[in-house]
Amino acid sequence: MKAAAGEPTRRGAGLAGRLLLAQALVLLTSTLTAWTIAATVGPPLFHDHLASANVGTTSTQLVHTERAYQSANAISLSLALLAALAVAMAVNVYIARRIGRSVATIAAAASGVAAGHYDVRVPGPGLGPEFDALASGFNQMAGRLGSVELTRRRLLSDLGHEMRTPVATLEAYLEALEDGVATMDAETAELLHSQTRRLARLSEDIGSVSRAEEGQVRLDLRTVPPESVVAAAVDSVAEAYHAKEVRLLTRIPTRLPDLRVDPDRMGQILGNLLDNALRHTPAGGAVTISATTSSRTGGVELAVADTGDGIAPEHLPHVFERFYRVDTARDRAHGGSGIGLAIAKALAEAHGGQLTVTSPGTGQGSTFRVLLPRS
């Protein structure tokens, strides 16, 4: 019959009880086996030894001697087996309880993680490398899940914040148009288009970074010279730099090794880095894009250095995180989605490379470096 709703589910014996029962059966079987062998093999051997030694002059004496042996052997063997059984059972109880407590601790911790308590940690049980590896693996899993959950919550929060401004602007202007307070002139149309483009860019960026971080980006790898990749990226942003009056300098030496990359994706990486540099460099400043041969790997290092806002040391480890902003108010005013650098890093790693950032500090500019392996 099925248990009624609300009734506790009946469970069988726990792991510790089952281990103890199994070990008790093994010990009991071993004891019976030892007793049977001793009772079967011992008396005939003893009788043969008596006959060989000519012990006992009459059959009555011989029978009495054999019975005395059997009695002494039975008593001593029984006491020895009982003592061994008691000691073994005591050890088994201790081990079974330790294993049972360790498994119960991990089970309780797993239930806690399932309930959303990702700060749960399991101490090492000290039952051998296998149990220690299990506890360590569980702790790493819980920590990773906690990090993922924290990122998810922050992502949803930031995403809602990012969408709130353009959606509110669109709603306000549409209501104003419906009420006749505003007219659809060129300025209003441009504002509405800019907000829709911002939402479209945000949607596209979220999809791009998710695909890149999950390794779902398809790369059309080709062997190309570094100068062609840099030239294409510079051409795509030249007009924006000219409009803001920020100088864009290029330093590409000759005889650089070719790159084995997807030109479009590399253009996306450099484009994001150049856009980021432009947003944080005031008019009159300069951004330099350069390429050099890495002495460490023999590959090519592409660098984008600016003379703009700079980054404080405490912010450097978080620059490539989604929606992370050093200065929230200023960055939102600059129009960035907060995902461009995360996309650039994921795409660089998809090419087998690295993306790093350095900065002397606030107000002293920053340098982003893309290190690509040899083709």
- Digit-coded pLDDT (tens) for 173-215: 888 888 887 778 888 788 788 778 777 777 776 776 666 666 6
Taking phi first (over 0 means left), then psi (-120 to 50 degrees means alpha), and beta for anything else, what does residue 126 get?
Answer: left
pLDDT digits (tens, 9 = 90+) for 17-62: 666 677 777 777 777 777 677 677 666 766 666 666 666 556 676 6
Three-state DSSP class for residue 260? strand
Which of 34-41's residues contact partners 24+ apart within 8 Å by CB, and which partners?
34/77, 34/81, 35/77, 35/78, 35/81, 38/73, 38/77, 39/74
Alpha-carbon span 88 to 131, nearest angstrom? 23
Three-state DSSP class for residue 356? strand
pLDDT-based confidence at 16, cuts 50/70/90? low
**DSSP state letters, 271-314:** HHHHHHHHHTS-TT-EEEEEEEE-TTTSSEEEEEEESSS---GG
pLDDT at 9: 46
Q: Where are the domains of the chain?
A: 15-117, 153-213, 222-372
| pTM: predicted TM-score of the whole model, two decimal places | 0.54
CA of 11: how far to CAs of 3, 5, 8, in Å? 12, 16, 9
pLDDT at 285: 94
Q: So what's the architecture of 222-372 in CATH? A: 2-Layer Sandwich (3.30)
